[in-house]
Amino acid sequence: MVRLEPGSTTSQVTIYMKTVLAVTFTLLASSTAFADGDAAAGKAKAATCIACHGADGKGIAPTYPNLAGQNAPYMVAQLQAFKSGERKGAQSAIMAPMAAGLSDQDMKDLSAFYSEMGK
């Protein structure tokens, strides 16, 4: 964070004000979140996911599904099914531990993030 001192230059003041504005907008954005998912929050939570589903939402291997543009409610339902163990078979054993640590809000945020990708 930039600190203002007596004698700060105009550009220092500008940077300071921009920082204050950026923080304000970030807080406003997160306070409107949500019964639904928040894509920005999802992006921040997707660090592990992109290892397999790609930074662009395209699976890194043919057996790893593409998530870019997928429907959010569908993805939330799948994540819940992996977590509960209801979705079995295929490569679900890879995905189940990933879903195990996600809260309902995490699932919504991550699904919002991937569903908006590539649109």
**Where does this chain bind ligand HEC (CB under 6 A)?**
48-49, 51-53, 63-65, 67, 75, 78-79, 90-92, 94-95, 98, 102, 110
Q: Residue 11, SS3?
A: helix
Give the integer Cα–Cα distance in Å for 94 and 4. 51
The amino acid occupying position 98 is M
For the bound state, the minimum distance from the C-beta of residue 13 to ligand HEC, rounded and expressed in Å, comes to 41
Return the number of the residue (41 or 79) whose C-beta is nearest ligand HEC. 79
Give the integer Cα–Cα distance in Å for 76 and 82. 10
Return the number of the residue (21 or 104) whose C-beta is nearest ligand HEC. 104
For the bound state, the minimum distance from the C-beta of residue 26 to ligand HEC, rounded and expressed in Å, comes to 23
* 67 close to 117: Cβ distance less than 8 angstroms: yes
